[in-house]
Amino acid sequence: MKFFVDSADVSAIRELNDLGLVDGVTTNPSLILKSGRDIMEVTAEICALVGGPVSAEVVAPQADAMIAEGRKLAGIAPNVAVKLPLTWEGLKACKVLSGEGRMVNVTLCFSAPQALLAAKAGASFISPFIGRLDDLAIDGIDLIGDIRTIYDNYGFETQILAASVRTVNHVLEVARIGADVMTAPPEVIRKLAVHPLTDAGLAQFLSDWEKTGQKIL
């Protein structure tokens, strides 16, 4: 499973990228606001840092304006994936932009029928939001499974990009069920390395090593 970082914080992305943990990046208007940066400038910086797809989101509500914005965003760098909302207008824009050979990430997906439409419109990625479904007591992991089954049934090449990933368990479950990609904030990715037994074992090893009175360097 590919790891995308859901952030517009260049320093956090760089740290993870240096460890070889970054296959791509996703951004959205809320993350751009949090960064305090100009969207064109920060997207260009991220694209230069990361070799994989970098999602940059349009904000227009109508298809024609989405297409114009998408073309401008795609012009930033070859690895920009234009992020479009899963609305009827967004699907229209997806069909045009994907037909031009541009990567498209269709976002805010909350049902398998929506995902089916996005695949038929030529989306490169579909982004089901599992955490937001969990907030409504709906199992977001089940949605990933339904989309996986449908896409496999018909050979759709659209990649399932599990989004709104909030916990280590989310990462485990979407990997187990077969998501192609997951995107998560840097802090969630860092937590994948944490386990209390690892910490306890290391503390014991260091305590025992100190008792030997030895040094390696």
CA-closest candidate to residue 58, choices 85, 31, 19: 85
Q: Which residues form the catalytic set?
A: 83
Q: What is the pLDDT of residue 13?
A: 98
Domain of 27, in residue numbers: 2-212
Angle at 129 between CA 128 and CA 133, to 5 degrees: 120
- Asked if 185 contacts 7 with a C-beta cutoff of 8 angstroms, the reply is yes
Cβ neighbours around 196 below 10 Å, total: 7
Q: What is the pLDDT of residue 198?
A: 97
- Work out the angle between the directed axes of helices 112-120 and 140-154 (0-180°, nearest 10): 40
On whether residue 217 sits in a domain, the answer given is no
- Work out the angle between the directed axes of helices 88-99 and 63-74 (0-180°, nearest 10): 40
Structure letter (DSSP) for residue 84 = E
- Asked if 98 contacts 104 with a C-beta cutoff of 8 angstroms, the reply is yes
The tally of domains found in the chain comes to 1
On whether residue 168 sits in a domain, the answer given is yes
Structure letter (DSSP) for residue 163 = B
CATH number at residue 108: 3.20.20.70
Q: What is the pLDDT of residue 184?
A: 98
- Asked if 182 contacts 174 with a C-beta cutoff of 8 angstroms, the reply is yes
DSSP conformation letters of 174-199:
HHHHT-SEEEE-HHHHHHTT--HHHH
Q: What is the pLDDT of residue 116?
A: 98
Per-residue pLDDT of the chain (217 residues; tens, 9 = 90+): 999 999 999 999 999 999 999 999 999 999 999 999 999 999 999 999 999 999 999 999 999 999 999 999 999 999 999 999 999 999 999 999 999 999 999 999 999 999 999 999 999 999 999 999 999 999 999 999 999 999 999 999 999 999 999 999 999 999 999 999 999 999 999 999 999 999 999 999 999 999 999 999 9
